[in-house]
Amino acid sequence: MIQCDRALVYALLLMLGTLPAIAATPIETVTVHGKRPAATPLWFEEAYDDYPALGPEFAKGLVIWNHPIDWTGRGPDVPPIRAIEGMAALGWDVIRLQRNSRLAEAAQWQSQIQPLIEALAQEIADAKARGYKRAVVAGQGFGGGIAIESALSIKDLYGIVAFAPNTGVGRGRSDQGVATPDINGDLVYSNQRRTTSRLKTIPALRPFVVFPEADE
């Protein structure tokens, strides 16, 4: 597993064309940690206590992580994949777009995707206005699907990272709203087909997509 984590980090760095950064004193926080809002559908927070934001002057760029869907009740609490932590250690600022699963409308893809893309687009625009030169959208599962969709809608992305992307299958529903209570062959095939079609249409940027073996 350690070798796999290192391989992902190195592959990401090669894709993004960056080398390890010299440590710098943090000069700015991108977001502020705090108690999770009870009635807020979306919010941003720092991803790692151990890697506070370096700010646009020193950071390689900004990574926005999107967590997987809330299958187990831990969606917002699932940490980013280890490769993203590796990027933070090597000089990228990493923040998280958190989704309040209690307010999600049955987690249907189409009902959630537009507000998420708009929130990402605004955060990236604000980050670039503050001086960030590079912006990467990353995510796992449902969050990986968001990363792919963001590449279709947000201009000037430096790259995307989609780990086990889920582009169209919500919690118990397909993107058309058809009930799919179990993870079965039809559901997996539907998601795979949609993911493939979306990947074919993303513009020329740095896409890093990982499909873990035997991961439905």
Q: Please write the tens of the pLDDT for every residue from 45-80.
A: 999 999 999 999 999 999 999 998 765 556 778 889
Alpha carbons 77 and 101: distance in angstroms, whole number: 11
Q: What mean pLDDT comes out for the span 109-115?
A: 72
Q: What is the pLDDT of residues 118-162, one digit of tens each?
A: 999 999 999 999 999 999 999 998 899 999 999 998 988 999 999
Alpha carbons 15 and 31: distance in angstroms, whole number: 26
Q: What mean pLDDT comes out for the span 87-93?
A: 97
Please give the pLDDT value at position 24: 37
Q: Tokens representing 55?
A: 């700010």
Please give the pLDDT value at position 50: 95
Whether pTM exceeds 0.95: no
Please give the pLDDT value at position 146: 92
Averaged pLDDT score across all residues of the chain: 77
The count of residues in the chain is 216
Please give the pLDDT value at position 49: 93
- SS3 per-residue string spanning 126-184: HHHHHCCCCEEEEEECHHHHHHHHHHHHCCCCCEEEEECCCCCECCCEECCCCECCCCC
Alpha carbons 136 and 127: distance in angstroms, whole number: 11
Q: Tokens representing 158?
A: 């430096």
The domain ranges of the chain are 2-19+43-210
Please give the pLDDT value at position 30: 41
Q: Tokens representing 37?
A: 């809002």
Please give the pLDDT value at position 73: 58
Please give the pLDDT value at position 76: 78
Q: What is the CATH number of domain 2-19+43-210?
A: 3.40.50
How many Å from the N-terminal Cα to the C-terminal Cα in the chain? 19
- pLDDT bracket for residue 183 (50, 70, 90): low
Looking at per-residue pLDDT, the higher value among 43 and 159 belongs to 159
Q: What is the pLDDT of residues 200-212, one digit of tens each?
A: 888 878 999 988 8
Q: What is the pLDDT of residues 9-30, one digit of tens each?
A: 666 766 666 544 433 333 333 4
